[in-house]
């Protein structure tokens, strides 16, 4: 868990922090006077709760009655930013927490973590007993919801442990089941390739020798597939590779060694039938054994007919579903126009529903779908992209020249964990704006976890709980991250930590963690835009850019922070271009928005695709 701010700001509301009402008078005057800016007054001593013997219970109602002793004065502070200046400044909620899920599921790196069989769980809110808990007379008063739980003291001792302090990070590994054992290299890649008539369209390409040739999209993709197959044969000879093609019909070639299975006509609108047929098709062997067969199949492909994209995607997911962590790479150049998920004749609500259902089924089976389309085509990426968005895959628009590299990079096995769920617990009185639940507990189904994945949440204190939180001085947070490792072991990682509480008038903007904020802003505004909440996204973007500008006045801006600034500008341009609520994003805009939805911080080990290429090239912008 990484927080954007060292403190929890408890007076932020949907309309921004109401500083004038909440801060004592002298605070405002101090921040308005210029001289005062140069020599800020010492902050009023913060109140610290006297350290409590661990044998005492922790009823939160007692907190205010405990003797309050100023243990130390805060260190001198740099000039504060006047929060009143600039109007909508501070409309931005800086209570943001980032979870680097990609790193958290990599338990091999954290060999020192405590390992327990199972956590002791609160009967009401399911928080776990942690280093912040105290058990007194076999009673644990949950620090998140106040519920009194009876607990076994010896067990409690193990869970609380001797770890004095404010943070704990524990792993819980239930017994390993051998039945579930799965080889790491057992995962599958299914190439689901469009061979409809439009794939004959040619593009002028300059060869290495400098001459120009015209090659069709199909030729381009055949070449890219051949190169990817050769690459995989060399790099990961044990991976299973399958081929599925679509036009008027869907053909499952599997690993290319058997008679292909063809589905057409009525079969293309029968969900159950397609799933069963594909699931029943023989499991592909590893590429070391099938390379020759697959390359021959790819060579023989010819293009004609319509685009049965939906049924083909469904068949591919079914094929891949036998191995959690498998990938489907969908390459298309046009809109689905036949069978399930038809976007031209059919009802658009039906097709949206179909793709959503398919994505959810893929998530459940641990299958990642990536969507690749060609530059200059229109395949309704905003809709098809949802397949990738929900399953953790990528959305890319490629040119014939870059296709091979892109396919290789997407097919790379970067799934670290499957069936992941994150539960974030905050104390009663805290809520998560933008999340469905109006609760202090947030559950997010993540599904597949890929390298570098980062998810972020905003939280805020309900106005009627503000006084209470200020009196509490610190607030606890707990993350339960449960997932299956690649060898199918079920793991729950529980991280607990507490943060001090303050009001916005005491926040030093220059010390905010801009990376956490910017990643959250990108994810939030991209997801609002995709949901059609463009006005809201614009409002946030304006306030965020304002805050970034203020921060840049307070301290030098780091190189990566200027990249975050570019994200905001890009999103602003995209949003400004959307005129009506129902407007469907162009493929180019959809690509960028989907990439920003999965933004991750620049300095993390893995930089997401979004950082690899210039965000929105001038061409993109011009075409939007
Ligand atoms: Zn509880």
Residue pLDDT, tens place only, 83-141: 434 333 468 899 999 999 999 998 877 656 667 677 888 999 999 988 888 888 889 99
CA–CA separation, 303 and 194 (whole Å): 8
CA of 482 to the centre of ligand 1 (A): 18
CA of 502 to the centre of ligand 1 (A): 24
Contact 152, 159 (CB under 8 A): no
What's the Cα-to-Cα distance from 474 to each of 6, 121, 143, 500, rounded to whole Å?
A: 11, 22, 11, 4
The CATH number of the structural domain formed by 188-412 is 3.40.50.410
3-state SS assignment for residue 573: helix
Give me the helices (H) in 72-163, please: 101-104, 153-160
Handedness of CA 125, 528, 519, 399 (dihedral sign): positive
Contact 550, 81 (CB under 8 A): yes
Separation of first and last alpha carbons in the chain = 37
CA of 433 to the centre of ligand 1 (A): 21
What pLDDT is stored for residue 183 in this prediction?
Answer: 53
CA of 149 to the centre of ligand 1 (A): 8
CA of 588 to the centre of ligand 1 (A): 46
Give me the helices (H) in 429-558, please: 466-472, 514-530, 534-554
CA of 507 to the centre of ligand 1 (A): 30
Which tokens in the block code for residue 591? 């690509």
CA of 148 to the centre of ligand 1 (A): 8
CA of 141 to the centre of ligand 1 (A): 8
CA–CA separation, 98 and 368 (whole Å): 23
CA of 128 to the centre of ligand 1 (A): 8
The secondary structure element, H or E, covering residue 472 is: helix 466-472
CA of 548 to the centre of ligand 1 (A): 37
CA of 10 to the centre of ligand 1 (A): 21
DSSP 8-class letter at 213: E
CA of 424 to the centre of ligand 1 (A): 12
Contact 269, 340 (CB under 8 A): yes
What pLDDT is stored for residue 193 in this prediction?
Answer: 94
The tens digit of pLDDT for each residue in 345-358 reads 767 788 888 999 99
CA of 98 to the centre of ligand 1 (A): 23
CA of 387 to the centre of ligand 1 (A): 36
Q: Say yes or no to pLDDT of 279 above 90.
A: yes
Q: Which residue has the higher pLDDT, 613 or 497?
A: 497
CA of 399 to the centre of ligand 1 (A): 53
3-state SS assignment for residue 95: coil
Handedness of CA 420, 425, 431, 436 (dihedral sign): positive
Q: Nearest-CA neighbor of 372 among 225, 232, 230, 227?
A: 225
Mean of the per-residue pLDDT values for the chain?
79
What pLDDT is stored for residue 615 in this prediction?
Answer: 40
Q: Say yes or no to pLDDT of 426 above 50.
A: yes
What pLDDT is stored for residue 345 in this prediction?
Answer: 76
DSSP track, 219-239: HHHHHHHHHHHHHHHHH-TT-
Among 62-76, 250-264, 434-448, 588-602, where is mean pLDDT lowest? 62-76
What pLDDT is stored for residue 22 in this prediction?
Answer: 38
CA of 3 to the centre of ligand 1 (A): 22
The pTM assigned to this predicted structure is: 0.78
CA of 480 to the centre of ligand 1 (A): 13
Contact 115, 493 (CB under 8 A): no
CA of 122 to the centre of ligand 1 (A): 5
Q: Nearest-CA neighbor of 203 among 191, 184, 218?
A: 218
CA of 448 to the centre of ligand 1 (A): 28
How does residue 338 score in pLDDT terms, banded at 50, 70 and 90? confident
For CATH 3.40.50.410, list the domain ranges present in the chain: 188-412
DSSP 8-class letter at 87: S
């Amino acid at each position: 868990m990484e927080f954007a701010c060292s403190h929890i700001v408890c007076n932020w509301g949907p309309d921004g922090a109401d500083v004038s009402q909440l801060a004592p008078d002298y605070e405002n005057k101090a921040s308005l006077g210029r001289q005062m800016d140069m020599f800020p007054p010492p902050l009023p001593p913060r109140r610290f709760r006297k350290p409590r013997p661990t044998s005492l219970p922790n009823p939160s109602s007692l907190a205010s009655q405990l003797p309050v002793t100023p243990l130390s004065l805060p260190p001198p502070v740099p000039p504060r930013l006047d929060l009143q200046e600039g109007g909508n400044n501070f409309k931005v909620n800086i209570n943001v927490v980032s979870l680097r899920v990609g790193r958290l599921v990599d338990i091999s790196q954290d060999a020192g973590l405590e390992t327990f069989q199972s956590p002791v769980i609160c009967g009401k809110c399911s928080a776990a007993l942690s280093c912040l808990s105290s058990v007194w007379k076999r009673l644990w008063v949950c620090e998140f919801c106040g519920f009194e739980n009876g607990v076994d003291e010896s067990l409690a001792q193990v869970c609380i442990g001797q770890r004095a302090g404010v943070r704990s990070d524990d792993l819980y590994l239930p017994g390993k089941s051998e039945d579930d054992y799965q080889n790491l290299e057992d995962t599958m890649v299914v190439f689901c390739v469009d061979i409809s008539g439009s794939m004959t369209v040619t593009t002028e390409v300059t060869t290495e020798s400098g001459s120009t040739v015209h090659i069709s999209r199909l030729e381009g993709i055949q070449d890219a597939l051949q190169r990817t197959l050769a690459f995989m044969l060399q790099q990961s000879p044990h991976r299973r590779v399958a081929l599925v093609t679509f036009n008027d019909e869907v053909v499952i070639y599997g690993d290319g060694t058997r008679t292909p299975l063809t589905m057409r006509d009525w079969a293309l609108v029968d969900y159950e039938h397609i799933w069963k047929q594909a699931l029943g098709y023989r499991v592909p062997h590893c590429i070391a054994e099938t390379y020759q067969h697959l390359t021959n199949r790819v060579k023989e492909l010819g293009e004609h007919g319509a685009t049965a994209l939906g049924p083909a995607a469904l068949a591919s997911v079914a094929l891949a579903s036998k191995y959690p962590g498998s990938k489907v790479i969908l390459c298309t150049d046009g809109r689905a126009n036949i069978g399930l998920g038809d976007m031209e004749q059919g009802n658009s609500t039906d097709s949206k529903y179909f793709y959503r259902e398919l994505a959810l089924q893929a998530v459940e089976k641990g299958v990642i779908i990536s969507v690749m389309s060609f530059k200059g085509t229109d395949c309704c990426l905003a809709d098809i992209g949802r397949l990738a968005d929900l399953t953790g895959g990528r959305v890319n628009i490629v040119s014939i020249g870059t296709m091979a590299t892109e396919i290789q990079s997407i097919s790379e096995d970067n799934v670290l964990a499957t069936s992941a769920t994150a539960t974030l617990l905050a104390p009663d009185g805290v809520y998560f704006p933008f999340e469905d639940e109006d609760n202090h507990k947030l559950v997010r189904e993540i599904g597949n976890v890929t390298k570098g994945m980062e998810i972020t949440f905003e939280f805020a204190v309900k106005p009627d709980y503000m006084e209470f939180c200020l009196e509490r001085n610190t607030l606890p947070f707990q993350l339960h991250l449960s997932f299956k490792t690649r060898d199918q072991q079920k793991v729950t990682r529980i991280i607990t930590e507490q943060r001090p509480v303050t009001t916005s008038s005491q926040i030093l903007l220059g010390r905010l963690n801009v990376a956490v904020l910017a990643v959250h802003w990108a994810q939030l505004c991209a997801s609002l835009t995709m949901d059609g909440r463009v006005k809201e996204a614009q409002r946030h973007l304006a306030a965020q850019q304002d805050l970034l500008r203020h921060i840049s006045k307070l301290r030098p801006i780091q190189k990566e922070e200027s990249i975050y600034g570019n994200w905001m500008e890009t999103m602003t341009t995209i949003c400004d271009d959307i005129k009506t609520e129902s407007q469907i994003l162009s493929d180019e805009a959809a690509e960028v928005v989907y990439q920003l939805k999965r933004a991750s911080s620049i300095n993390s080990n893995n930089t997401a695709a979004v950082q690899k290429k210039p965000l929105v090239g001038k061409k993109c912008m011009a075409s939007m």
